[in-house]
Amino acid sequence: MADSTEKHGPVPLEQRPPEPTDIAPAEGTLGVLLPGLGAVSTTFIAGVQAVRSGKGRPFGSLTQMGTIRLGGRPEKRIPTIKEFVPLADLDQLAFGAWDVFPDDAYESAKNCGVLDPVQVEDLKEFLTTVRPMKGAFDKRYVKKLDGTHVMETRSKREWAERLIDDIARFEDENGCDRMVMVWCGSTEVFMERAAVHQSIDAFEKGLDEDDESIPPSMIYAYAAIKSGVPYANGAPNLSADVPALVELASENGVPIAGKDFKTGQTMMKTILAPGFKARMLGVRGWYSTNILGNRDGEVLDDPESFKTKEESKLGVLDYILQPELYPDLYGDISHVVRINYYPPRGDNKEGWDNIDIFGWLGYPMQIKIDFLCRDSILAAPIVLDLALFLDLAQRSGMGGIQEWLSFYFKSPQVAVGLYPEHDLFIQLMKLKNTLRHLRGEKQITHLGLEYYTE
Ligand SMILES: NC(=O)c1ccc[n+]([C@@H]2O[C@H](COP(=O)([O-])OP(=O)(O)OC[C@H]3O[C@@H](n4cnc5c(N)ncnc54)[C@H](O)[C@@H]3O)[C@@H](O)[C@H]2O)c1
């Protein structure tokens, strides 16, 4: 193997690799707890089981398919990510869930209609073993659902205690060595940060007083963090993205990440918009509309839940295009996002984008995208990667917000005072550089000038 130090002189101090982090081994069983056993969760669980039994391939998952380049290009060191960092193996995963409907993962997968019925039948024996615990639920926060499989109590303090008990019981019954939680529940109504979210004292007082500003998703997050279980939020609800829970996560050394899985139309936006900006092409308008007919679509048919989603989707372009830096190119964009509930389409959403761009001398051009996508097929590998990376973060002693996992989210959770990074390619670089950092490898800068000096 080429020795770059010998060839290009001593490595300057600032380029010396960091000390590798002590990472505890990924031994034993990793419990993956999922509030919400709907389309995304069942597609994830069934998919993992299919891969474990050699009946499918984990396409779309960076932890399973991705590689990482180490050192200079001549070194040709490109291991797979799972060789490079110690991740739990798919065989080590055990699944737990809560839902407000009693269907097990088999019934739910059948109803959701994401996977081929033949494939669901084939996995029936395993899927029927994943039965949801009763959900902590209040219809005021998800207006379109009439949950029947819900905890009897409506006191928020008792919900928290019940969830903490559920987590401990699951750990015990499944012999888990570690656990992670990924929120795959419905999108709740729009909510802004309030006084009760500002500190953990205020939050716990709010639990005692049944404060309206504490929705169920926040209580699941609280229960997870209290139990030392890393938490990721796949929906746009605030959930763990409030100072009180960030404080608790940092104090307890528990990794958290969110919000809103980056799939479908927003994923396309975060691929295309950086390209337009890189080439200094202007954008006058971006109209996105889509039809979907799954339960998520039904929930988002309620204007209050849709508002939560809309906020999450609209932020993306502003952060990527930076109109304050490029007012002539992006200062006056008309950005519209619509979601229409259309039952015949089921989970196979269709998303249309009309993008009005302009180039040299202001000449206008248009781009039309018709993305016949499968939402849950795009989301399932994200759940897997988040579960494995959150577990890695915890074994590496990284508590609090995990900004390096922004890659997976529409509204990345970041420290106060920072703006979120939305560009998919910068996010990927941040993720891989974090892995290099953990293993004591140099960051990749892509400068490459050393190859052209005498
Ligand atoms: N599918 C995607 O690509 C995608 C992308 C980004 C975000 N999301 C978000 O992920 C979440 C899951 O999506 P989905 O398509 O699986 O939706 P889904 O409607 O199929 O599943 C959500 C499940 O959560 C349950 N639920 C609701 N409130 C609950 C509570 N308080 N406790 C326990 N269970 C509860 C519902 O009964 C339902 O079964 C949604 O919030 C969605 O907006 C999905």
**From the CB of 137, is ligand 1 less than 6 Å away?**
yes
Q: What is the pTM of this model?
A: 0.94
Residue 142 in contact with ligand 1 by CB distance below 6 A: yes
For ligand 1, whether the C-beta of 261 sits within 6 Å is: yes
The Å distance, Cα 120 to ligand 1 centre, comes to 19
User: Same CATH fold, 264-372 and 29-261+377-438?
Assistant: no
- For the cut 50, the answer to whether the pLDDT of residue 2 exceeds it is no
398 pLDDT exceeds 80? yes
- 216 touches ligand 1 (CB under 6 Å): yes
Question: Are residues 87 and 388 in contact, defined by beta-carbon separation less than 8 angstroms?
Answer: yes
Helices then strands, each counted (H, E), the chain: 17, 11
Cα 222 to ligand 1 centre (Å): 19
- Residue from 222, 237, 296 to probe ligand 1 pocket by mutation (most atoms less than 8 Å from CB): 296
Is the per-residue pLDDT at 217 higher than 70? yes
**Whether the CB of 215 sits within 6 Å of ligand 1:** no
Residue from 186, 378, 409 whose mutation best tests the ligand 1 pocket (most atoms within 8 A of CB): 186
What's the pLDDT band for 303 if we cut at 50, 70, 90?
confident
Mean pLDDT value across residues 242-247: 98
Q: Which residue's CA is the nearest one to ligand 1's atom 42?
A: 235
- Which pair of structure tokens corresponds to residue 334? 């008309």
Nearest protein Cα to ligand 1, atom 33: 99
Residue 138 Cα: closest atom of ligand 1: 31
Query: Which atom belonging to ligand 1 lies closest to the Cα atom of 35?
Result: 33
Mean pLDDT, residues 392-419: 96
Is residue 258 within 8 Å of 409, Cβ to Cβ?
yes
256-283 pLDDT per residue, tens: 999 999 998 889 999 999 999 999 999 9
The two three-digit tokens of residue 205, written as one number: 């007082």
The one-letter amino acid code at 414 reads V
Distance from the alpha carbon of residue 186 to the mean position of ligand 1, in angstroms: 3
Q: Are strands 334-341 and 133-134 parallel, antiparallel or unpaired?
A: unpaired
pLDDT in tens, 26-63: 999 999 999 999 999 999 999 999 999 999 999 999 99
Domain spans of the chain, in order of start: 29-261+377-438, 264-372
Q: Give the pLDDT of residue 442.
A: 92
Is 99's C-beta closer than 6 angstroms to any atom of ligand 1?
yes
Q: Is 185 in the pocket of ligand 1 (CB under 6 A)?
A: yes
Residues 6 or more apart whose Cβ sits within 8 Å of residue 441: 17, 70, 71
Query: For residue 15, what pLDDT band results from cuts at 50, 70 and 90?
Result: low
Residues in the chain: 454
Q: Give 314 or 167, the one with higher predicted confidence.
A: 167
Ligand 1: centre distance to CA 38 (Å): 6
The pLDDT value recorded for residue 345 is: 87
Task: Verify whether ligand 1 is closer than 6 Å to residue 132 (CB atom).
Answer: no
Sorting pLDDT into bands at 50, 70 and 90, what band is 296?
Answer: confident
Ligand 1 mean position to 112 CA, how many Å?
Answer: 11
Report the mean per-residue pLDDT for the chain: 93
- CATH number for region 264-372: 3.30.360.10
* pLDDT bucket at 115, cuts 50 / 70 / 90: very high
Ligand 1 pocket residue status of 383, Cβ below 6 Å: no
Ligand 1 proximity of 376 Cβ (cutoff 6 Å): yes
SS (H, E, C) 179-237: EEEEECCCCCCCCCCCHHHCCHHHHHHHHHCCCCCCCHHHHHHHHHHHCCCCEEECCCC
Q: Can you spell out the DSSP letters for 117-171?
A: HHHHHHTHHHHTT--PEEB---TTTSTT---SSB-S---HHHHHHHHHHHHHHHH
187 lines ligand 1 (CB under 6 A): yes
CATH 3.40.50.720 fits 29-261+377-438, yes or no: yes
CA torsion 407-412-416-421 (nearest 10°) is: 50
